[in-house]
Amino acid sequence: MGRMTTRQPVLRLRAGRAARRPDTLAVEEPLLVRVGGEVLTLTMRTPGQDFDLVAGWLVSEGAVAAPGDIVTMRMCPDEDNTVEVVLAPDATPPRPRAFVSSSACGVCGADSVEAVRTALRWPVSEDDTQFDVGVLSVLPDALRSEQKVFDRTGGLHAAGLFTAGGRCIEVREDVGRHNAVDKVVGAALRDRRLPLTGHVLQVSGRASFELVHKAAAAGIPVIAAVSAPSSLAVDLAEECGLTLLGFVRGGGMNVYTHQQRVRVGPIPRQRELQ
């Protein structure tokens, strides 16, 4: 597994003073994904949990839904940063990507909101789990407390999977927010947790179309972001029956879609989450 961080000498300027010192940076490297010997995508990511990343990407592409859909995954010994995947005979490989997926870009090739909605395996709209506003309010802090690499670099996004009671299931970090989500979903797939009924996906930064798509593809009924959603993210969430929260911070939030899942109540202390 590659390093998630590296050291780089910098000139530090503070309060009129200059000093040379090493700085810790988040690593960004390419990852090539081959399925059945064919190159399907090349993404820029932070090394670490690469099998989770690939498995989650295959879930969002609609290729797999259970661990048995993936026969094997291995790092190619003769090619750096390359994962070779063998799918089960009845699993359909996704179409090859004709471009490099950057750390800021995930599902850029989707044709429309309707095309994504009709491709989903699990009806998120039928998930009637209730989520207390108090629990949702403290999830950004719970996520931040698990961002170990961010503490060292200040340069990574994060995604966390939580139960309706606020218990943390998985947290992953990456230079790409969509990669962090794929790593969380891939870990859940490999743990046989899909579909993720009754869970909430908390993400750092904004809520984009691609993140809503990935949440819906994994059967997650609620996605919460500390910043704003895009208009297309709101459209897709509304169409899919997914509850989309933005500006979740400081004890407040905006509920953009399917407000019926959010239940008003007191804000608990973090140690009370379960």
Question: What is the per-residue pLDDT across 221-260, written as a single tens digit (0 to 9) for each?
Answer: 999 999 999 999 999 999 999 999 999 998 899 999 999 9
Q: Is 108 a catalytic residue?
A: no
| Cross-strand partners of 85 | 35, 73
What is the reported pLDDT for 273? 55
Residue 27 predicted with pLDDT over 60: yes
Mean pLDDT of the chain: 89
CA–CA separation, 158 vs 138, rounded Å? 15
What is the reported pLDDT for 272? 57
Q: Among residues 76, 105, 168, 240, which one is catalytic? A: 105
* Alpha helical stretches, state H, the chain: 50-60, 113-118, 133-145, 148-153, 177-190, 209-217, 231-240
State the distance between the two ends of the chain, measured CA to CA, in whole angstroms: 32
* Alpha helical stretches, state H, 105-225: 113-118, 133-145, 148-153, 177-190, 209-217
Residue 144 predicted with pLDDT over 50: yes
What is the reported pLDDT for 96? 87
CA–CA separation, 58 vs 181, rounded Å? 12
Residue 106 predicted with pLDDT over 50: no
What is the reported pLDDT for 110? 47
Residue 202 predicted with pLDDT over 90: yes
| Strand pairing class (252-255; 243-249) | antiparallel
What is the reported pLDDT for 112? 61
- For residue 159, the tally of other CB atoms under 10 A from its CB is 29
Q: Bigger pLDDT: 148 or 271?
A: 148
Question: pLDDT-based confidence at 98, cuts 50/70/90?
Answer: low
What is the reported pLDDT for 89? 95
What is the reported pLDDT for 14? 86
